[in-house]
Chain A
């Protein structure tokens, strides 16, 4: 670890801001209301899932030839959204972007919850989730071992690695803040005091601990980037390793990764705007943070447009009959309204609004982000369904309409995500107190140096 300069100082406690961030922890009427409303959606999710488990997959709308419907759409969508946090946070950490400080934890929490929900959908799609253990390399009496040649098995391995890494990447920088909460709640609230005492481990804030933590965060930040890229590449290979028209594409992996980061940033910006408004975080989640993340957002928007255009241009120009049928479904078929909506909300609106500084202010960027989140879900739908509706063998043409159970589970999953997030915000600092504080110190130090340099000798 690089030596810290001897002149580095910490700010006077009178100007310290970390305690104000810590004061956000705890229930508030707004958050409790949010938890209650989203809790009802969670109930809906589990009721619908239970109904499906009892009655079988027949209650879902998936049928020959469209065997993948909303569940796989949601799986791909939520895994994509999970790229919000860990990847963005890690990239910003590795590149030393100072403006990352207020948003890293907000983003990392999105990753963990989105991944949990994304990982839930293959189980829901299985119909009999209790047989999931057969994908694990466990010896059993039937000698059924997982087939590692299957991309679905790669999914399991990759998502497990990513989820583990994301949870630890969220937890490690949380420890110093948990220790502050432990000290704050000591002797006040027995349940919370015990929770924070347990989670803070033996953190005291000594040099030895800060050094170890610094190493740990830096290594995890570097390690998590290729893992995140690999996860969505592998999800794309679930499709691209087949001969299904519209899926067999050499650029599917980078296309998926770009889409994932795009939807992840959109979810992050939307969540940040809600947090800023709901928790009065204007001082921490400043217009400048939205502006800078907005620039990244517009860059990802352009990349997404480029990849989408390339993907459709090459297959259309190739003139393959089966591919042409998929294109016809997209451009003129029953799903064409979804396709053109996707084009508007993912490409036209962001590129019309975001290049301007005014468009990157919290309210407009939140609205654009919400559009992109919806648009990216539609994109996943348009990848999964049309290709299966019009497969190569023309006599198996079919259509897909989601059943109420699938719709309930989809809506419930959104509720579960929000429910988990509301819970997290009430129990843990959603802004990293020590990282924000460290940034303030560095700014103060810089200002002091500038003042000293400007003073006449």
Chain B
């Protein structure tokens, strides 16, 4: 059992980020997270493909559309029935207006549910944590990899990371305080 340190790696490009990921995996790193300022290639996803699962955004959007449409239909049709006005023998619930309102309600439900699903699935509701040491490099196009590395493997991992492309291509930072005790 040994203490673990949080290791932060900034890679100049995806090839170096791949190699950094391999180094970290070899060092038995845990809690690996890869971040980019643009969508990253799938092979840089530390999560294995089987664990990723399918996105729930589309089903949520469709459910939202259904709920929105139903709600709008109820409001439009039940308003006409609950507060009847003189229609000169025409039906109390007029089809075309109810269809228009239902259409807009469907779209509104879909839009709101989509955004809610993105927030939930992307865990955006978790407010930003304490800034990481190399965060400022993201805007300049670096790819950041964060991981928890056992103290025994830390030195070796840092040397291997720096060998990938030199300090110009890979930058590392280590949190001084041990991150967590690993079992």
The CA-CA distance from A434 to B40 in the complex, in Å, is 12
- Residues of chain B within 8 A (CB-CB) of A210 are 36, 39-40
Contacts of B129 in A (CB 8 A): 202
Is B76 interfacial (CB 8 A cutoff)? yes
- Of residues 225 to 262 in A, which have CB atoms within 8 Å of B's CB atoms? 226-227, 230, 234
| Interface stretch of the complex, out of B22-30, B130-138, B151-159, B175-183 | B130-138
> In the complex, how many angstroms separate the beta carbon of B50 from the nearest chain A beta carbon?
13
User: Which of A32-40, A155-163, A315-323 interfaces with chain B?
Assistant: A155-163
Asked if A282 is at the interface (CB within 8 A of a chain B CB), the reply is no
User: What is the minimal beta-carbon distance from B35 to any residue of chain A, in angstroms?
Assistant: 4
Q: Contact: B79 with A215, CB < 8 Å?
A: no
Nearest A residue to B142 via CB reads: A13
Does A287 reach chain B (CB closer than 8 Å)?
no
Task: Determine if B108 and A205 form an interchain contact, defined as CB atoms under 8 angstroms apart.
Answer: no
Of A12, A137, A172, A176, which contacts B141 at CB under 8 A? A12
Chain A residue nearest to B119 in the complex (CB): A201
| Contact B142–A201 (Cβ < 8 Å) | no
Q: What residues of chain B lie closer than 8 Å to A3, measured between beta carbons?
A: 42
Given A18-B37, A220-B114, residue A203 in contact with residue B107 (CB < 8 A): no
Question: How far apart sit A154 and B119, CA to CA, in the bound complex (Å)?
Answer: 30
With A4-B39, A137-B79, A215-B58 known to touch, is A18 a contact of B111 (CB < 8 Å)? no
Q: In the complex the two chains form, is B13's CB within 8 Å of A149's CB?
A: no
Q: How large is the interface on B (under 10, 10 to 19, 20 to 34, 35 or more residues)?
A: 35 or more
- B100–A438 CB distance below 8 A: no
In the bound complex, do residue B128 and residue A207 qualify as a contact, i.e. CB atoms below 8 Å apart? no
A441 at the interface (CB under 8 A from B): yes
- Taking a contact as CB atoms under 8 Å apart, the answer to whether A176 and B37 are in contact is yes
Instruction: For B112, list chain A residues within 8 Å (CB).
Output: 164, 168
Q: Are A215 and B57 in contact (CB under 8 A)?
A: yes
Q: Can you name the residue of chain B whose Cβ is closest to the Cβ of A175?
A: B124
Chain A residue, CB-CB nearest to B136:
A183
Stretch of A140-148, A373-381, A401-409 at the chain-chain interface: A140-148
Contact partner, A183, options B40, B47, B139, Cβ 8 Å: B139
How many residues of chain A get a CB closer than 8 Å to chain B's CBs? 75
Residue pair A19, B140 in contact (C-beta under 8 Å): yes
Q: How far is the CA of A412 from the CA of B52 in the complex (A)?
A: 52
In the docked arrangement, what's the CA distance between A434 and B131, Å? 20
Q: Is the CB of A180 within 8 A of B37?
A: yes
- Pick from A16, A22, A204 the residue with the most CB of B within 10 Å: A204
B41 partner residues in chain A, CB cutoff 8 A: 4-9
Chain B residues within an 8 Å CB radius of A216: 57, 114-115, 117-118
Residues of B within 8 A of A14 (CB): 12
Q: Contacts A165-B108, A183-B136, A219-B58 given; indicate if A10 touches B114 (C-beta within 8 A).
A: no
Does A214 touch B at the CB level, under 8 Å? yes
Q: Please tell me if the beta carbons of B128 and A197 are within 8 angstroms of each other in the complex.
A: yes
8 A Cβ contacts from A160-196 to B: 160-161, 164-165, 168, 172, 175-176, 179-180, 182-184, 186
Task: List chain B residues, Cβ under 8 A from A206.
Answer: 33-35
With contacts A10-B40, A204-B35, A212-B57 known, what are 16 further pairs, Cβ within 8 A? A6-B43, A13-B12, A18-B37, A18-B140, A19-B140, A157-B101, A205-B37, A206-B33, A206-B34, A207-B40, A208-B52, A209-B123, A212-B118, A216-B114, A216-B115, A441-B38
On B, residues with C-beta under 8 Å from A are 12-15, 17, 33-47, 52, 55, 57-58, 61, 72, 75-76, 79-80, 82-83, 85, 94, 97-98, 100-101, 103-105, 107-108, 110-112, 114-115, 117-119, 121-129, 131, 135-144
16 sample A-B contacts, Cβ–Cβ < 8 Å, listed by A number:
A6-B43, A10-B14, A12-B12, A149-B97, A168-B115, A202-B126, A202-B128, A202-B129, A206-B35, A207-B44, A208-B121, A209-B122, A212-B121, A214-B39, A216-B117, A219-B57
Binding site for B on A (CB under 8 A): 1, 3-16, 18-19, 22, 137, 143, 145-150, 153-154, 157-158, 160-161, 164-165, 168, 172, 175-176, 179-180, 182-184, 186, 197, 200-216, 219-220, 223-224, 226-227, 230, 234, 433-434, 437-438, 441
